[in-house]
Structure 1
Amino acid sequence: MTVLAILAFIGAIAGIAYLITFISSDWPIQLTQYFMRIMWIKAIIMAILLLSLAYGFFKGLLWSWFLGVIMLTIGIILHVHGTLTFLGTLSSYPDQLKNSMPYIIAVYIIPFLILVIYGLILFYLTKPHVKTYFGIGQPSDITSTVKESKRTLVFIAAVLVIIAGICIWGFTPSGDIDIISVSQKPENPQPGDTITVIAEISGGSPFLGVSASLRYPGIIDGVTSKDDNKYSFTFLYPFKDSTEKWYVISAGDKTSEVFEIGRVEKSNITSLSITEVIQTPGKPTTATSSVEISAKVTSNVTISKVTFEDMHFTEGGGGGSGSSSMRSRGNDTYEDIIRLDYYESGTRVFYRIKAVDESGNTAVTPVYTFTLTDPV
């Protein structure tokens, strides 16, 4: 049992160390404080359970055997479910990638090895000599354990009740989430300025607050500071001259209107313009696999680039964004598609088109939007 105790102890320390290393890297800039709090809470709870398990295994305590079996069983179920879900999201990946060795190792071999390790430990805990070590199977073992550890069990039960009460209070939303107002500083940014967006948001829970984020094509910025119900967000990069950004505030299952920063200087020297923006189909449903967006882009000089920017938000508060170059299909027409394979009913999609010609002139369309519905 000493080996299992050491493994449980190492697992607890490794989990916290991994989280600290992760936070020290550049990855957390893509996460909101809400999800960072969830990661910390999960890591702390798991560390407490594993440290308790290590102590119980080392001492041969009866309750640690039950705790170990329960944790392993739940772990196997969650691991299988998570792996199958992950495989489902990768079903649309190209076959060339699926046949590569890194893909096979990451998607199949590593999850299988983890499952085997879980299974071997669970099998080992059911061996007769191991159960004897923990006092399992001895006459009146449960009754004697309860009598001898009555005070301990009462104390543990009281602690669990208190923790459960605190969690229910701390994680229960205090009311419906609502984006009350959105403002930005400075209102008219100059080149090199750092732009801060302040959103007043009500609702959320005492522990986690609101899952709020600033979203613009290709980027998700988390909360940089919070004062009561006012959430501040700072754009990653300083404002550039002659540029224009559009963004929304996402909070829980709510999404703000579209806001724009700056104005592109649009001269008429090259007559750059974007017209005839067509969305097919006009009213997509969850049965629609993709939406095609096409537009006419014309200029007196060569067009350098036509960019398609989009964002989407689900009713449950999830979402994503992206930016890609549109494909030319001749006759001044450019096209791109929005894949809807895993979008659910109620998902709101925003998009716009931006074009630049060789003179540096820029043109942008208004922001278009549609909401997915169930098929009639």
Structure 2
Amino acid sequence: MIHEAVSSLSAGTPNMLDTALETINVDSTITVTGMTALLERHETGMIQLKDQELKFLRAGIARLTEQRSAEQVQIKSWTVTGLEVERGFLLGPDQASFIRAGRWLGKSVGIIEMKDVDTTLRFVKAWKNLRSHRIQGFVGASTVDNPPFILVQPSHLSISEYVTVTDRPIIRRLTYELVRALEYLHTRVPPVIHGGLRPANIDINSGNVLIGSIGLGLGHLRIPEHQRLALEPSLRQWTAPELLENPEMSPNTQTDIFSLGKIITELINIIHKRRPSANFPVLSSIAEKCTTQFTEQSPHYQISDLFAPLPSASGPNTAELTGLLKINQWRVTPYTCTTPAIFKEEDHRYYVASAPLQGIHEHPLRQLCIEVNCHDQGENPCLFFA
């Protein structure tokens, strides 16, 4: 059809092109925007299009622009359209999570459907400049689709799910990474307030913490009003009392810290269900400080203050303190290498080698742990040495 459509245009009979464009069956603005974005991605090397596809896109843009006599579509670096995105099922460990699974340019992404264009643009402006490996990455957005949407890095396990299914999770490390993520947001100029921090929007990917849904509330999403009202009570346990007492009050750094304390308490409770004897005095102390209701007379904690009042190294909690303070000196990086090889009996090969692992000067390789899955398909046993 693409070949016939392009040929019909060059022959002066654009009927086939019009038919092809009609089969797309979406608003012409979306079609032109999507086609233009695809051309730009081809030119920048993100995707590779065939010659006939390039001709079809250029002809389609020219034809639709001629028919609708509208202004030229402006393509932003983050522009995505529904033509390129495959929508999947809703993700999220709780009913208030509205990230949808999706695929874009062959990659897994999360799709957040927004209330309107203005809201979408506001969050694009806030998210696209955040640069931290502890913040869920912004991928792109559409302001021409209905509803408009934002693309983010795909979700995996929430922090509560991760602690629940992991045999011995190191919640000291998770807490440290969570504090560092929140510290990054609060030290932006101006500070970035999350406003809705809870376990469901803290993603764990290969043990690494990613905070998502920054600044997003139920009122910003494309959901019915009655559904929003029904879900809001489920979020109260993570919300600072001063926000509940004064609905006109805006979230701030203190209310984010309160939510952090509630999350730490939740993680400790999950561990206690399996191991009632587990003791986390330092983390419990931090959680208590975080959840102290803020008043004019109470201490005004900054995120960087949370680890200041820790017990001394000579105290009874030395092991917990040492693990917490030194956790940033070791970075655990999972590395997977597949070395394809086919061996026959006459080969007499004894070693399979891959390229050497390289550290970087800031974090040199200190320790290597190897996990080998051996599937013996021959008569002789397989031996591995590390």
TM-score (norm 2): 0.22
RCO higher in structure (CA 8 A, sep ≥6): 1
Question: Which is richer in strand?
Answer: 1
